Amino acid sequence: MPGYNLIRPLLFSLNPEYAHQQTIALLQKASNKPSQVARLTKRYRNKIPKLPIELFGKKLSNPVGLAAGFDKNGVAFPALFALGFGFVEVGTVTPRAQSGNPKKRVFRLDQEESIVNRLGFNNNGLDAMLGNLSAFSSYIRPGHIGINIGKNTDTPNERAIEDYLACLDAIYEFADYAVLNLSSPNSPGLRLLQQEFEFNELVHAVMERRDELANEQSDKLLPIAVKISPDLDPEQIDVIAELSLNHRVDALIATNTTIARTAPVSHKHFTQTGGLSGKLLTDQATSVISRLASTTRGQIPIIGVGGISSAEDAWNKLLAGATALQLYTAMVFHGPTLLRQIVTGLTERARRYDERNFGSAIEQARKQF
Ligand SMILES: Cc1cc2nc3c(=O)[nH]c(=O)nc-3n(C[C@H](O)[C@H](O)[C@H](O)COP(=O)(O)O)c2cc1C
């Protein structure tokens, strides 16, 4: 596979969604050939310093994961791990396949290193995803595979629970953790599931089903995470934090893309309808993490995501209260070597506080923050 500096001008000359499809096709092809996975591992993963963290009771080689939406159908995670991610989240998958919103629906803001998308949960559905995942059943995972689940667009919110439970049942065996996506701005009404009553009902039903499934498959208690929006106001964040504590949710993922357009940006795509990600989201997502961390009093791990494109961004999210991190948009602009830069930069920063223990380094840095 040629280096990203060579590929990028070609990819950026294409329609962004088509460019993404070509990238996924390449990574899927590589994933199906162990020799190519080994080559990518040598070139990328093995060059990233080890910065172990623990998430859901297991050690990961570094805290930076791939955010949902990049590999919606679970076709390329062996190659994605080979690029060096500490963990990989696939999806969002919905019970039935759906094509999403009309095209064009992905817009790059090159100078701002940001993206607006209104894909609308385009995916091949649960059955296809399970088929894809099972094709890699002999693959030994170097980190968690999370599966991000959602409801079909034509399922009314009153029946949303059925869709989430159908997804949970289907993915239970394969996933290392599940994510309830309640925060995509491109699926009409979805974010209303973050309101107190709806959130409470949904999370209660999911946690109950998770416990039933755990009893049936006694060796596994699947961690459940909830992914939230950056557009919640502080009081809404507090309600979600308290309910998550009550229901013993295993992690909160903050955040999804934003519908807000507050920065003074003149790019013609800035006002496209959809969710904004990348650099223009960075500070907004970090504020949500800070608020969540203070209300949950550190009792629920937070996976920080939103505009991480440097070690500095990653470090700020950890200081704000994140335990682990994810990114998507910065990969589009910088390619996979970005991971090495981020993990190397985090290692250097952590060393200033504690030479050997990353967790304690972060804690000490937070005290001085
Ligand atoms: C093109 C695109 C598609 C996305 N699809 C999903 C998705 O299916 N499910 C989801 O939970 N988040 C999705 N996201 C949101 C990302 O997972 C992430 O939360 C957000 O982009 C902020 O991180 P970033 O600034 O590093 O990209 C998508 C983002 C982009 C740019």
Q: Where are the domains of the chain?
A: 4-368
Q: What is the mean pLDDT of the chain?
A: 95
Whole-number Å distance, alpha carbon 70 to ligand 1 midpoint, is: 7
Mutate-to-test residue for ligand 1 from 277, 289, 333, 339, highest number of ligand atoms within 8 A of CB? 277
Q: How many other CB atoms sit within 10 Å of the CB of residue 63? A: 27
Which residues carry out catalysis?
A: 184
- pLDDT 10s digits, 237-272: 999 999 999 999 999 999 999 999 988 878 889 988
Is residue 109 classed as helix, strand or coil in its secondary structure? strand
Residue with tokens 């006694």: 218
Could you give the residue ranges of the DSSP H alpha helices within 224-281? 234-246
Whole-number Å distance, alpha carbon 69 to ligand 1 midpoint, is: 5
Which residue's C-alpha comes closest to atom 8 of ligand 1? 69
> What residues flank ligand 1, with Cβ below 6 Å?
67-69, 72, 92, 106, 115, 117, 119, 148, 181, 184, 227, 256-257, 277-278, 281, 305-308, 327-330
- pLDDT 10s digits, 125-179: 999 999 999 999 899 999 999 999 999 999 999 999 999 999 999 999 999 999 9
Q: How many other CB atoms sit within 10 Å of the CB of residue 366? A: 15
Average of pLDDT values for 320-340?
97
- pLDDT 10s digits, 264-294: 878 889 988 899 999 999 999 999 999 999 9
Contact 114, 55 (CB under 8 A): no
Is residue 353 classed as helix, strand or coil in its secondary structure? coil
Average of pLDDT values for 17-31?
96
* CATH match of 4-368 with 3.20.20.70: yes
Which residue's C-alpha comes closest to atom 21 of ligand 1? 277
Whole-number Å distance, alpha carbon 12 to ligand 1 midpoint, is: 19
Which residue's C-alpha comes closest to atom 23 of ligand 1? 306
Contact 257, 105 (CB under 8 A): no
Which residue's C-alpha comes closest to atom 3 of ligand 1? 69
Ligand 1: atom nearest CA of 123 is 8
Is the pLDDT score of 84 beyond 90?
yes
What are the DSSP calls for 308-347, one per residue?
--SHHHHHHHHHHT-SEEEESHHHHHH-THHHHHHHHHHH
Which has the closest alpha carbon to 142: 81, 80, 90, 220?
Answer: 81
What pLDDT does residue 1 have?
59
Ligand 1: atom nearest CA of 326 is 26
pLDDT band at 196 (very low <50, low <70, confident <90, very high): confident
Whole-number Å distance, alpha carbon 314 to ligand 1 midpoint, is: 17
What pLDDT does residue 201 have?
96
User: How do 106-109 and 87-93 pair as beta strands?
Assistant: unpaired
Is the pLDDT score of 218 beyond 80?
no
Which residue's C-alpha comes closest to atom 10 of ligand 1? 68
What pLDDT does residue 194 have?
82
